[in-house]
Amino acid sequence: MKSRSALWPFIAALCLAWPALAEDGPAGSDAGRAGESGGDGEAGSETGDTGRPVPRGFREKPLWEIGVVGGGGWLPDYPAADQNHANGIALPYAVYRGETFRISEEGRPRGLFVDMPWLELNVGLDAAFPVDSDDNDARRGMEDLDFLLEAGPMLIVKLLPGDPLNELDLSLAGRVVLSTDFKGIDYRGLTVNPAITYRRNDLFDVDLRAIAAVDATFGFDGFNEYFYEVEADDVRPDRPRYRADPGYVGSEITLGLSWGITERIKLFGGTRIGLWTGSANDDSPLFRDEVTYAVGGGLRLTFFASDRKVWR
C-alpha cells in the first residue's frame, strides 16, 4: 500500500522504505513536557533544558538532520496479487524537530493542524512502487501500474499519552490517490484507512524500537478500479470483463524493528502480511490471493545535523 516533481520521489522513498519503523518518537513531546510527565515513573540520568529529569524513552537529538535513506524489499505487485517482485529506492531525506512543527523521519509534517497530548491532526502519506504488467501473469498485456502517491488528513488519537516508552495510537486517514509515469499525473480515487499502532521505544534500554500495526483500506471513486477492473480491450480466455466495486480492499498486519546503531546510522526492517478476504472485488480475475507477504528493510545515513539539540 501507493505532478510528480522532485518532491514526489522523495516522499515515495520515505514511505516505501518502511518509514513507520524509523519514525521520530515519541511524538508531540518537548523537553519541558518530558520533565513534567513522569512517564512510567522511571527517570534517566539525563536532564532536559529545564533541568528536570527526562524519562526513559526520550533522547537528545539534533533540531534538524539531512541525509540519505534507502530501502526496499520483496513486495506483492498490488493488493491480493499472487506474485512478488524486488523493489528498492534510495533518496535524500530531511527531519525537523521543532517545538510546534515537525517533519518526522518519514517525511510527514506533524503538529501541522492540531497537536495535543492525546490528539493529533496532520498529513498522512503513503506510496507504492510501479508494476510492469508484462512481469505479472494476471495483468499481462494490460497497462502498467504507475507510481502511486496518497496524501490527505490523518487524525491520531493517542491512547497512552505521557508514556514515552509505550505508544498506542488509533488513527483514521483519508487520502487522495495520484499516479504518475513521470510524464503526467492521473487522479486514481480516494482511500480511507483506519489503523491501530503500538510502538515500544528503547527496547532493552537501547535505541531499539518495535512496532506492531493493523490497518484496513477502503477504496472509492476509482481506486479499486485501478487494481481490479478489466476493460473490454484487456479480455482474454482466463481474464473476463470485470467492473470493480468501491468499498473494502483488505487489511494488513505490520511487524518491525528499527535500531539506531549510532547517532548517524539507523537500520530498519520488518514484514507485512496482507489479508484480503472479504474484499469488495474478490471475484475479480485480478484478485489472485487472499493472503500476501512482504519483507523489507533499509538504512538511513545522516550526513548533516544541527548543533542545537532537542529532547524527543
Q: Is residue 2 part of a domain?
A: no
Q: Is residue 179 part of a domain?
A: yes
* Distances, alpha carbon 308 to alpha carbons 49, 60, 62, 111, 305, in Å: 12, 10, 6, 20, 9
- More confident: 217 or 46: 217
In the three-class reduction of DSSP (H, G, I as helix; E, B as strand; rest coil), residue 295 is classed as strand
* Nearest C-alpha neighbor of 220 from the set 243, 245, 241: 245
What per-residue confidence (pLDDT) applies to 205? 84
* Distances, alpha carbon 48 to alpha carbons 52, 57, 61, in Å: 6, 13, 12
What per-residue confidence (pLDDT) applies to 58? 65
Q: Is residue 56 part of a domain?
A: yes
Q: Which domain holds residue 214?
A: 7-311
Q: Is residue 248 part of a domain?
A: yes
* Nearest C-alpha neighbor of 147 from the set 95, 80, 89: 89
* Distances, alpha carbon 107 to alpha carbons 3, 43, 95, 151, in Å: 18, 30, 7, 12
Q: Which helix (H) or strand (E) holds 297?
A: strand 291-305
What per-residue confidence (pLDDT) applies to 108? 56
What per-residue confidence (pLDDT) applies to 17? 38
Whole-structure pTM over 0.95, yes or no? no
Residue 278 has pLDDT above 50, yes or no: yes
Q: Which residues touch 24 (CB under 8 Å, ≥6 apart)?
A: 95, 97, 102, 104, 105, 110, 312
Mean pLDDT, to the nearest integer, of 154-161? Answer: 94
- Indicate the average pLDDT of the chain: 82
Grid cell locating 109: 509534517
Q: What is the DSSP string of 123-168?
A: EEEEEE--B-GGG-TTTTTSPPB-EEEEEEEEEEEESSTT-SSEEE
At 173, which CATH number?
2.40.230
Q: What is the pLDDT of residues 171-214, one digit of tens each?
A: 999 999 999 998 899 999 999 999 999 999 988 888 899 999 99
Q: What is the pLDDT of residues 96-154, one digit of tens each?
A: 877 655 665 555 556 566 778 899 898 888 889 999 999 999 999 999 999 999 999 99
Q: Is residue 20 part of a domain?
A: yes
- More confident: 219 or 58: 219
What per-residue confidence (pLDDT) applies to 128? 92
Q: What is the pLDDT of residues 14-58, one digit of tens each?
A: 444 344 343 444 433 333 333 333 334 343 444 444 454 555 556
Confidence at 223, pLDDT banded by 50, 70, 90: very high
Q: Is residue 131 part of a domain?
A: yes
Structural contact between residues 161 and 151, judged by C-beta atoms closer than 8 angstroms: no
Name the H helices within the chain.
Answer: 7-16, 31-37, 223-228
Total domains in the fold of the chain: 1
* Distances, alpha carbon 131 to alpha carbons 86, 115, 155, in Å: 11, 37, 31
Q: Is residue 1 part of a domain?
A: no
Q: Is residue 219 part of a domain?
A: yes
